[in-house]
Amino acid sequence: SGVRENLSYEQFGVAVRELAQSIADDGYQPDVVLSIARGGVFVAGGLAYALDCKNIHLVNVEFYTGVGTTLEMPVMLAPVPNAIDFTDKKVLIADDVADTGKTLKLVRDFCLDAVAEVRSAVVYEKSQSLVKCEYVWKRTDEWINFPWSVQPPVVRRDGQVLDA
């Protein structure tokens, strides 16, 4: 279907505060927020401020190549974070959406051995997700347009091609 869930930057601001509130109300105080780039970076920044957590890490995962088209499996791209940094820490994994859940599962499994506790927070979770996140702002099964990726990359106004 052509139906889309559209999230604006303004709605995202509300969503990330509400998501943080549910985490605080639950009594979870993460030592580190681990963001899944690139979409999870926005979520992680908002959550880290709202939860007063000054320790943000980042992992790059590649999976989607287009709307609904994926690689066979998600892969962590270098540099992979050092699991030692998470030893005995309470980790909050932050991402924009758990769709198949494969990306979150990859990152969660990577953390599980080392950390004291790992929980996941997402703005959206789809019903098919194989990881059930502890913290979800909204459930949908539509393709989501996020404000940071709904528009194509900028091009130079003089028509010169970037990187040329």
Q: Are 130 and 114 in contact (CB under 8 A)?
A: no
Question: Which of 10/52 has CB closer to ligand 5GP?
Answer: 10
Give the separation between CA 13 and CA 15, rounded to whole angstroms.
6
Q: Is 163 exposed, middle or buried (0-12, 13-18, 19+ CB in 10 A)?
A: exposed
Does 28 participate in binding ligand 5GP (rule CB under 6 A)?
no
Candidates 19, 30, 43, 103; binder of ligand 5GP (CB under 6 A) is 103
Q: Which amino acid is at 151?
A: Q
The alpha carbon dihedral of 149, 94, 64, 38 has a sign of positive
Does 121 participate in binding ligand 5GP (rule CB under 6 A)?
no
Tell me the number of residues near ligand 5GP by CB under 6 A: 19
Does 60 participate in binding ligand 5GP (rule CB under 6 A)?
no
The bridge status of strand 117-125 relative to strand 135-139 is parallel
Does 11 participate in binding ligand 5GP (rule CB under 6 A)?
no
Candidates 15, 44, 47, 98; binder of ligand 5GP (CB under 6 A) is 98
Give the separation between CA 81 and CA 111, rounded to whole angstroms.
10
Does 46 participate in binding ligand 5GP (rule CB under 6 A)?
no
- Which string of x and - marks every residue 73-92 that binds ligand 5GP (by CB under 6 A)? -x------------------
Does 100 participate in binding ligand 5GP (rule CB under 6 A)?
yes
Does 63 participate in binding ligand 5GP (rule CB under 6 A)?
yes
Question: Which of 17/38 has CB closer to ligand 5GP?
Answer: 38
Give the separation between CA 39 and CA 81, rounded to whole angstroms.
17
